[in-house]
Structure 1
Amino acid sequence: MKENRQLLIFTHLSQLLDFVSGIGGFVVPLILWLLKKDEVIDMDAHGKAILNFRISMFIYVLICIPLILLLGLGIIGLIVLGIFYLIFPIINAIKVSNNEEPNYPFSMKIIN
């Protein structure tokens, strides 16, 4: 196994592809994790953190959709989730560059 901080940083930042392609922010980290989890130190932990975050956010979006009918609470929720989608990948890419562990708040442990 080898250390590759640049690939870990790219894996976190690749989530932002959602703003360009719609689904690339899930597919690219998934592919990188599947291909490199046994080759790059910490890729397994980082990949799982990213995928848990992405799956959790998707579940939260599904919860917000019916809440739109309830006084517009879902719209507020979707705005907050959009901010999370933008901010947390950047924060965690910076953490990786400083040799810190990634932290995605509000993530459910779906993939162990």
Structure 2
Amino acid sequence: MSDKQDVLPKPSQEIRQWAMFCHLSSFLGSVFPFGSLLGPLILWQMKRETDPFIDAQGKESLNFQITMTIAMLICVGLMVVLIGYVLIVPVVICALVIPIIAAVKANKGFPYRYPFTWRLIK
């Protein structure tokens, strides 16, 4: 097969686990405010120089969480005109489901690119 993922060697189990933790750390937002941003940021800063796979997945996770935070703030602002109540539902669903998919892919050693993400950190 000519797929790049088939040619590239898989990262070690430890590297894959840290990449997975970068994605799952976004759920710290359910424990304390802005934890969804701080979790990926702290893990990425701690482990980004360990391996390029962790660096890439940490950036992806952080960029997605920045995008979701901006989307949620816009939805909260739009709650004044009621449309925010409707729009926040798909945003919350995406913020819960997509990081789980990304974590599973990262744990299998496949790089994951989040959809609908504004990539501020390159």
The normalised TM-score by structure 2 is: 0.80
What residue identity is the alignment partner of 1:102? Answer: Y
Computing the radius of gyration from Cα coordinates, the structure with the larger value is 2
Is the Cα contact below 8 Å between 1:16 and 1:85 reproduced in 2?
A: no
Trace 1:1-112 onto structure 2 (pairs within 5 A).
3=12, 4-70=15-81, 72-112=82-122
Counterpart CA distance in 2 for 1:86 and 1:20 is 14
Q: Offset at 1:108?
A: 0.4
Is the Cα contact below 8 Å between 2:16 and 2:107 reproduced in 1?
A: yes
SS of 2:121's partner is coil
Where does the alignment leave 5 or more consecutive residues of structure 1 unmatched? Answer: none
- Residues 31-86 of structure 1: CA distance to partner in whole angstroms, max 9, x if unpaired? 1111111113411111111111111111112221232122x211111121111111
What residue identity is the alignment partner of 1:24? Answer: G
Is the Cα contact below 8 Å between 2:53 and 2:111 reproduced in 1?
A: no
The normalised TM-score by structure 1 is: 0.87
Is the Cα contact below 8 Å between 2:23 and 2:100 reproduced in 1?
A: yes
**Distance change in 2, residues 1:66/1:22 (3 Å):** closer
Runs of 4+ in 1 over 3 A off after TM superposition: none
Q: Percent identity?
A: 37
Where does the alignment leave 5 or more consecutive residues of structure 2 unmatched? Answer: 1-10
| Equivalenced residues, count | 110
Q: RMSD across aligned C-alpha pairs, in angstroms?
A: 1.6
